[in-house]
Chains A and B, each alone.
Chain A
């Protein structure tokens, strides 16, 4: 069974700090990886996708992928209170379906 593991948190960081969110996955053949943000009471929204080993940057967000270690991470620079949410790691499982981790709750304090 395909698994995606994340620390549930909460991860608490002060405003302006770097938040680092981590994810490991079990399916070695996975090729597509995604980070979703979910605010309380809302549906998930995609913030980053990554398909190749290395780093991918988009504004304050950087996704990192290491397929050999089966590891995906998300860095949020200059964290803001509005970044407080649950971050879900998702891995494509074939036929366009995604397997989600349980999510890491991030709390950014002013």
Chain B
């Protein structure tokens, strides 16, 4: 089965800085999805990233805060900009593999001080 690699796996950042999370898939996929899981909460979709077009953001998420790149069919990045403690969360990259199976990377645990 395909492998989804995310990095960094965790990071501690200072308020006001930005962090870019990378997601690499070992097979070509049309769509890549970025989810956020805040402490004690479920997963919330941030945006859908398609190669060759702008990402589609869900209600409550904007490109200025969470810019996304999708340069090819196996790679995407999510940047969390101008971070505040409220951005402390696990950020998960996911893709659809096989028969309509949404599969997640291991996640990037971000702590903002």
Contacts and interface: CB of A to CB of B under 8 A. Distances in A.
Interface of A: 1, 32, 34, 42-46, 49, 88, 90, 95-103
Nearest to B106: A43
Interface of B: 31, 33, 41-45, 48, 56, 58-59, 92, 96, 100-107
Given A43-B92, A43-B105, A97 B100 contact: no
B100 A32 contact: yes
A26 to B, nearest CB: 15
Given A88-B42, A88-B43, A101-B42, A96 B101 contact: no
A70 to B, nearest CB: 18
B104 A44 contact: yes
B105 to A, nearest CB: 6
A96 B35 CA distance: 13
Contact of B102 (A1, A42, A98, A101): A98
Given A96-B31, A97-B33, A97-B48, A46 B43 contact: no
Contacts of A45: 104
A18 B42 CA distance: 24
A100 B42 contact: yes
A96 B106 contact: no
B45 A98 contact: yes
Contacts of A44: 43, 104
Contact of A95 (B48, B101, B104): B48
B100 A49 contact: yes
A43 B104 contact: yes
A45 to B, nearest CB: 8
B51 to A, nearest CB: 15
A77 to B, nearest CB: 23
Q: Identify the 5 closest CB pairs spanning chains A and B, nearest first.
A: A43-B104, A102-B42, A100-B42, A100-B43, A43-B107
17 contacts: A34-B102, A42-B106, A43-B105, A43-B107, A44-B43, A46-B101, A46-B102, A88-B43, A96-B102, A97-B33, A97-B45, A97-B48, A98-B45, A100-B43, A101-B42, A102-B41, A102-B42
